[in-house]
Amino acid sequence: GCGAPAESGEAETGPIRIAFMDILTGPQALTAGDYSLKLAVDEINAAGGINGRKLEYKKFDTNITPEAAVRATNLAIEYKPSIMIGYGVSSGLRASVNAINKAGVPVIHGTLAKLTSPESLGTKLTFRLGPTTTQYALAANSYFFGDLGVKNLTIIHTQDAAPTEGAQAIIADAKAKGVTTTERAVPPTVTDLTEPVLAAKGSDAIWEWGYATTDALIVKQTAQNNVDLPIMTFSVSAAATRGLIPKDLLTDKVLSVSSCAPYVLPGERSKHFMDLYRKTYNEEPTDANAPRYYDAVYLLKAAVEKAGSSEPQKVATAIEQTTLEGACGELKADANHNLIHDVPIIKWPAGKPELAKLAEDIESDF
């Protein structure tokens, strides 16, 4: 099969196509990503498009299995996009990399594991719009160890890929800084964290890396068991905005580390995004993907303008050289094609998110 790079000519005059790759169906489906991508596309088109060309996008369901991701990728390539935005699961992206390479289409994705670094993937085409597991770990640890002086840390994480990798990074960093750690791995579907919570009783803080559901569980169960410690979670913002955590349990001891938090970031673009999103959809963006895909479209715009072409390969090269002030902060590709370098830590006094710290210039080893 030759899903070949878009032939020039027609390709340089017609609309610029974006393939949006995400889990669109099933229990793991995400919705806000699609919403914010659409925001950016509509905004750009309303302002006349890119170099006078309209943006057009189409959604492809990668689901959670690598198999489905490959199929979605193959189909997406037939759509002849200038870029693919999305991919929520590392292994799905990894499985699709052959097809991506063959087609030569750049990808902006939000996965966080080592598995999807350009080196592991063996490609120059992928860009990571979001921190890596290492960046998350280091950023949160810097707040814990530096700002709060934590000496004894309990880490509770789900057993799947990224949380396990993240936990390892946290522990390695803690060891280097002389902090003692206790680790508990639990299944993602866990419904009872009593034991890990009790195990954390002697420590200074809890680092919980899982899902919105486990975030809610840990906050509720620490409260029930009178364990009053700072808790760093991976996505409490999602749990909080969805109301999974009772309001009175949200305090400044409940923390979260986020890939992109326009609701607390001071930048212009962040405020603009939040206003636009709230105005358009009349709700809060509930997952961290949302602002990222908004930024991804603007990154494409900047790259196409820089390259003067929507040809995928040229776009890829241009992204490497682009710097963008986005809703998530400053985006700029480093040697590992990671675009984000400042990671926000958020706290929740009285149920309202507040920036606890912006951990700046956090670099990843992959």
Partner 1 sequence: MSVSRVVSEDRVPTAGGATAAVPPPPAYTAHPLRFLAILTVAALIVPFLAGESAYSTDLLNTALIHSILVLGFYWCFSLGGRFTFGVFAMYATGAYISVWAGNHLGGFWAGLLVAVLATGALGCLMQLVFARTALIFFAIVTMAIGGLLIIVFREWTSFTGGYEGLSEIATPSILGLPLDTAESRYYLILGILVLFLLATALFLRSPAARDLRMAKDKGPVAAVAGLRPKHLQLAAFGVGSAMQGAAGSLYAHNSGYFSLEAFNIDISLLVLLMLLLGGMNSMYGPVIGAVVLVYLPELLRGVQDYADFIYGVAVLVIVVAFPSGIAGLRQTVERRLRRAGSA
Partner 2 sequence: MDRFVSILASGITSGAIYALIALGIVLLQNATGVINFAQGDLLTLGAYIGSFWVVSMGFGQLPMYVVVLAALFAVGVLMERVGYAPLRNRSPLTIVISTFALGLALRAVILLWQGSDPKNLPSPAGENTLNVAGAAVPYQSLITIVVTVIVGGLLFLAFQRSALGRQVRALAADREAALLQGVRVKRLSPVVFGLSAALAGLAGVLVAPIVSITPTLGFGLLLSAFAAVILGGERLGGVAFAAMLVAMAQALLGAYLSPGFIDAYPFLILVVVLALRPQGLVRMVSGVRF
Q: Which residues bind to ligand LEU, rule: CB under 6 A?
A: 88, 110, 112, 130, 235, 258-259, 288-289
C-alpha to C-alpha distance for 215 and 225, rounded to whole angstroms: 16
Q: Which residue stretch of 97-105, 135-143, 251-259, 327-335 sits at the interface with partner 1 (rule: CB under 8 A)?
A: 97-105
C-alpha to C-alpha distance for 149 and 340, rounded to whole angstroms: 26
Question: Is 1 an interacting residue with respect to partner 1 (CB under 8 A)?
Answer: yes
For residue 259, the partner it binds in partner 2, partner 1, ligand LEU, none, with Cβ less than 5 to 8 A by kind, is: ligand LEU
C-alpha to C-alpha distance for 330 and 339, rounded to whole angstroms: 8
C-alpha to C-alpha distance for 346 and 358, rounded to whole angstroms: 9
Can you state the angle between helices 289-307 and 268-281, rounded to 10 degrees?
120
Q: Are strands 354-359 and 343-347 parallel, antiparallel or unpaired?
A: antiparallel
C-alpha to C-alpha distance for 132 and 116, rounded to whole angstroms: 9
Q: How far is the CB of 306 from ligand LEU (least distance, A)?
A: 27
C-alpha to C-alpha distance for 290 and 190, rounded to whole angstroms: 26
13 or 25: CB nearest ligand LEU = 25
191 or 282: CB nearest partner 2 = 191
Question: Is 283 an interacting residue with respect to partner 2 (CB under 8 A)?
Answer: no
Question: Is 65 an interacting residue with respect to partner 1 (CB under 8 A)?
Answer: yes
C-alpha to C-alpha distance for 328 and 42, rounded to whole angstroms: 19
Residues contacting 159, CB < 8 A, separation 6+? 185, 186, 187, 188
Sole binder of partner 2 in the list 55, 107, 200, 239 (CB under 8 A): 239
208 or 311: CB nearest ligand LEU = 208
Q: How far is the CB of 309 from ligand LEU (least distance, A)?
A: 31
The DSSP-derived string for 118-152 is: HHHHT-S-EEE-S--HHHHHHHHHIIIIIIS---E
Question: Is 183 an interacting residue with respect to partner 1 (CB under 8 A)?
Answer: no
For residue 191, the partner it binds in partner 1, ligand LEU, partner 2, none, with Cβ less than 5 to 8 A by kind, is: partner 2
C-alpha to C-alpha distance for 318 and 249, rounded to whole angstroms: 46
Site string for partner 1, 132-161 (x = CB under 8 A): ---------------------------xxx
Q: How far is the CB of 208 from ligand LEU (least distance, A)?
A: 13
Q: Which residue stretch of 34-42, 71-79, 197-205, 267-275 sits at the interface with partner 1 (rule: CB under 8 A)?
A: 71-79
Q: Taking CB under 8 A as the criterion, which residues in 112-171 touch partner 2? A: 159
Query: b or e along 74-110 (b: 16 or more beta carbons within 10 Å of the residue's beta carbon)?
Result: bebbebbbbbbbbbbbbbbbbbbbebbeebbbbbbbb
Question: Is 282 an interacting residue with respect to partner 2 (CB under 8 A)?
Answer: no
Phi/psi of residue 111, nearest 5 degrees: -80, 165
The residue ranges that bind partner 1 (CB under 8 A) are 1, 3, 24-26, 61, 64-67, 70-71, 74-75, 77-78, 89-92, 94-95, 97-99, 102, 113-115, 159-161, 164
The residue ranges that bind partner 2 (CB under 8 A) are 25-31, 159, 184-187, 189-192, 194-196, 198, 212-213, 216-217, 220, 223-226, 239, 242-246, 248-249, 286
